[in-house]
Structure 1
Amino acid sequence: MSGELSPIDKAKFVSAKRAAQYVEDGMRVGLGTGSTAAWLVRCLGELVRDDGLKIKGVPTSSRTAQLARDVGIEVITLDEAKWLDLTIDGADEFDGDLNLIKGGGGALLLEKIIATASDQMVVIADVGKEVETLGAFPLPVEVIPFGWQTTQALIEETLISMDVLGRTSTLRMNGQTPFVTDEGNHILDLHLNRIGNARQLALVLNQMPGVVENGLFIDICDTVVIGYGDGKVEVRDINEGTVATERLDFVESDNLFSDLTE
């Protein structure tokens, strides 16, 4: 039950629960990937089951799609939806301008496509994801398998002229074999430590042959919902320029996530 959660899981839970309030009947909603997004899907599933909420979810990964179906959310494709009212997703890092690093879960390509096809993007995160400058979390870059080592060398050579502190990269692995995204690609994780000009870096990376997409989300996020381990939630709206705080109480008998495996 929620009363038995660790402080970081409590923070993820309250951010997800608060963000679920943005979802209204009849909406087409982008559903993110990752541990915090999984809490959001569970919260929405409860609203579907107990309150009769009717929504259509567009998942950003196959595992999110399966979880959504498991909790009773109707799943459709982006082509079927055409356009989304809202996307709610997690982030690996966010800064004061609500720019993000995403892709730790390997779904950055679909996450960016779906987020940019939405009227609004809400990010849910625990307070530990906030940084002064992006870059401590390795930046994922999705690349096609063909010639990936050449692409990697080109990226590292290009980083010499970028405003970053580190310039090494590693191929993401899944055990003894390269990690493969839902779209059949590989991921290079760039260990940059600090990104001085995220906007420039995002543009330069996406101009390289072999690069499919990068994990910098610039000017995409509208609102971030930050959860704390004590149940406090902070909501920052970049468009309105507002910051609001509230507290969500835990219900000890509420066993919403007893079977959540993430």
Structure 2
Amino acid sequence: MATTRSGRRHFLALSCAALASACARPMEAPEPLDDVTRFGFQPVEGYGLIEDGGHIIPPVPPQYLQWPNRRQRFIYEGGDPAHSIVIDPHAKFLYYVLDDGTAWRYPIAVGRAGLSLRSTTVVRAKKEWPGWQPTANMLRTQPEVYGPFARGIPGGPASPLGARALYLYRGKRDTHYRIHGTNDLESIGNSGSAGCIRLFNHDIIHLYDLVDIPTTVYVRSAEESLRLLGPALSPRGVELPPKIISPETIYGATDIVAADGMPPDPDGVLTRLE
């Protein structure tokens, strides 16, 4: 059947209208990568990727979060006052006591310096993304380890103090003991050759927001730890061998984020200094 001129014009008008409608339709964004594809595992709740202060904190792989190595809140039976911190260097836990009879419990790593922390101290300062500098004693006793870092390490992913630090004092004197973050994930739940009291960066951020200035910090004895937790948890962990970290590795670290959202130094070797 023949098509009239008016019919052809009507057909062309409809075709152009359909084409214009199709062109005006927004292009669909690509599907975002799921966490398993992006990281190679499903992050544990509370330990996923964090963007904080212009830095990227990657998720903690599940193998480092096996019970009891994760943040938990439960009924507290230690008898310590509310809004205080309690460190158990034997069972490798830190508690923040709340005023409703519960407490947050965080798994920790305890360095040689942390093992010598026995008496009560007070948090009198706290910092986000703190820098780090070796003490005069560190430089004197282990110049081969700490000498290359005498000028200090600025705050950021390369800093041994991690995302947050709490500074412990006796009276007005800085004890040089710190409660701080780390990306040395395997150290949590164990003892190290260096360092004070270390938490996953996710946990030190959580704790930091709870702690006021001043906050009293108590340390459990081995006897108290065993009485409260029993032999299944106290003592626990092993002492890890030291890692020697080159200055080039530290000072060469940057905030450049790879395409998979992970910061440099995926092996987490930047944090055995403190």
Give yes or no for TM over 0.5.
no
TM-score of the superposition, structure 2-length normalised?
A: 0.24
Pick the structure with more helix per residue: 1
The higher radius of gyration belongs to 2
TM-score of the superposition, structure 1-length normalised?
A: 0.25
Compare relative contact order (CA 8 Å, sep 6+) and give the higher one, 1 or 2. Answer: 1
